[in-house]
Structure 1
């Protein structure tokens, strides 16, 4: 029989729910960011109850997709499809004007047919990382993925040992290096002569730029708990964006992308237990996101979440004063955003979350009056919310947060 790890679903009893919502539980432990589920939780019950407080939907920083709680899932999907269609239409028009060559990936790695290919791991569904071969069946997987099994997930054969497959990994690395190429100068003399006749030739994938390609694989690997793979892909992506920043200056779009990717790298480090590196990445993420004009809601959210993540790590480390500093900065970012988006229900909930975080730390520091004031303000904001009937997930988050605040 195959030794496939069981995927368990937990339904906590009311007594447990009351316990974790009680006054003895730090509120910072109840709230965590959207982009990645990387908080190291001590109880499986905890995650099943409070994952709805802040939906952790990975949003690619290279695609202007709406957040799930800003509109229905249908509208979000329509926006993504619209963006892809516009991108493809633009690429086709450029091909006529400037001689753009638009190759289709022979292995199917593009947005219209993004699927598991011959260089993918069937377990994490991302490109192979630290390719490892099972003996004796010779099936290949990522090292981190196959290490959890005693039998081959594909054929069921007993795994006698696992060997590193260097040749396959070299092929994967070459594929990544050459895929979704970004504006490279022609290498041959003939090519240069052709460029002089037909303006510039730009080699690029029709539907996926290099950064988005790497981020997609990183998110797939991260969801499958192959954190080393995710970190490796994100590091390549960050290096690419840094190179573009050197060439073109601190453009807001590039700063936004790099800030998001650095935040994801921080999530990877935190999942690996490296809190020091996580803080470094989050702080650098904040630095780049702060350079972007504060008119993009996704950037505002990512910036405030990065600040909260640093605050969380400081909180777990016992540095309450530093934790409060970062929580308060996040609160200010969200409050300033509300001046121009006062009717945004999701943003209002984010402000209430920040108020609760600051108030919780104030209580820990002995500022009881300030803590009570912060909790009350959060409750009042939740009571004033008007939520559309279609925003079920947002309504669940509001209810859970409201219960937690009232118990405080």
Structure 2
């Protein structure tokens, strides 16, 4: 079961560069420092000033620095300093060490650095707003009483920035930090939804972020909150047409994760309900995209989940039928030589399915005929 996907929920957002300002490559978290933030002339003409970070950075030029934790490589969360060396890290990160990771000195005490955390929070807030004077829609001119700027959202540049920070923290097991950044991101998108309505772009982004929040809660052992986030994620993603394979995958994964948590809680009927919903989503995706290998694999996994649950519920005939259908899909799947990752996954799922059928055959009574 995948946790915290590395796919960027803002990857399809049109930025000034025509794409996502953050590329979530797990092997390359550092982003090249670029030019200073510049005021766009066209933006000035329309009364919009380019967003300015109070510390001189923007999302495109952010790099590790004095506001970052050297352990998780994300922005500091609950900033803490080691004594006596005074090196600073996230509280959750440094709490796992006895010696300072930077200088090797014994850690005698860890103290919260609230002043530094205020600075970090101001840095994050600097990515939240863009100065945007009120413009008269009819004549496109500034009104005299509206010369005072108001603050609007920087939108998806900030969203990608926050998700990047969350994913760095999550990979380093600083889950509270990841949850905090994702929470800010979700709040931003909700504000956008209030202004723009349920646009496909915003629903897709919020659905993905809510799913990540569910992963955080699940990792922290809070299954109730995790289910709430996964359900809301599925609600938003269900509003979208089933044409985008990434959306379809995220939706089915959220439904399966609800099913998993229900299963672990012993509520098998509820688990089957959500597993079946995910299966239906994936069946439709395969019908629409018959050549999408990843969708066929997803379908086989869903068939296996439902079949396994049927077996636990005593529905043996339905279970065998499900396992066999999944095997048929996988055996008919033709993969290219460059799809080695999918081939490994196909082999793994196929082996599981064949073992399930073999177990049933071994336990069946021997015929005397």
Q: TM-score with structure 1 length normalisation?
A: 0.74
User: Within the alignment, does 1:263 sit opposite 2:206 as a pair?
Assistant: no
Shift of 1:102: 3.5
Shift of 1:181: 2.3
User: Within the alignment, does 1:165 sit opposite 2:101 as a pair?
Assistant: no
1:83 paired residue among 19, 33, 50 = 19
Deviations 1:24-61 (A, max 9, x none): xxxxxxxx13x52xxxxxxxxxxxxxxxxxxxx41111
CA contact (8 A) 2:327 2:354 kept: yes
Match of 1:316 in 2: 264
CA–CA separation in structure 2 for the residues paired with 1:285 and 1:83: 23
Q: SS state of the match for residue 339, structure 1?
A: helix
2:104 paired residue among 156, 167, 175 = 156
User: Within the alignment, does 1:334 sit opposite 2:334 as a pair?
Assistant: no
Q: SS state of the match for residue 19, structure 2?
A: helix
Q: Cα 1:107–1:157, aligned 2, differ >3 Å: closer, same or farther?
A: farther
1:110 paired residue among 59, 71, 75 = 59
Higher relative CO (Cα under 8 Å, sequence separation at least 6) belongs to 1
Deviations 1:184-234 (A, max 9, x none): 447xxxxx679999xx999887x9611111111011100000000001111
Residue pairs, 1:27-46, within 5 angstroms? 32-33=1-2, 35-36=3-4
Q: Cα 1:331–1:208, aligned 2, differ >3 Å: closer, same or farther?
A: closer
Shift of 1:115: 2.1
CA contact (8 A) 1:108 1:117 kept: no
Q: Cα 1:282–1:364, aligned 2, differ >3 Å: closer, same or farther?
A: same
Deviations 1:290-332 (A, max 9, x none): 1122221111111000000000001111111111110000000
User: Within the alignment, does 1:139 sit opposite 2:87 as a pair?
Assistant: yes
Q: Cα 1:402–1:287, aligned 2, differ >3 Å: closer, same or farther?
A: same
CA contact (8 A) 1:63 1:83 kept: yes
Match of 1:357 in 2: 305
**Matched residue count:** 327
Residue pairs, 1:12-91, within 5 angstroms? 32-33=1-2, 35-36=3-4, 57-64=5-12, 83-84=19-20
CA–CA separation in structure 1 for the residues paired with 2:156 and 2:88: 26
Q: Which runs of 5+ in 1 are unaligned?
A: 1-31, 37-56, 66-80, 86-90, 187-191
Match of 1:21 in 2: none
Deviations 1:73-108 (A, max 9, x none): xxxxxxxx97259xxxxx969537635433675655
Q: Cα 1:291–1:210, aligned 2, differ >3 Å: closer, same or farther?
A: same
Q: Cα 1:350–1:311, aligned 2, differ >3 Å: closer, same or farther?
A: same
Match of 1:244 in 2: 192
Shift of 1:338: 1.5
Q: TM-score with structure 2 length normalisation?
A: 0.82
CA–CA separation in structure 2 for the residues paired with 1:281 and 1:149: 32
CA–CA separation in structure 2 for the residues paired with 1:182 and 1:340: 41
CA contact (8 A) 1:101 1:202 kept: no
Q: SS state of the match for residue 273, structure 1?
A: coil
1:387 paired residue among 331, 335, 347 = 335
Q: SS state of the match for residue 64, structure 2?
A: coil
CA contact (8 A) 2:48 2:133 kept: no
CA–CA separation in structure 2 for the residues paired with 1:319 and 1:256: 29
Q: Cα 1:266–1:129, aligned 2, differ >3 Å: closer, same or farther?
A: same
Larger Rg: 2
Match of 1:129 in 2: 77
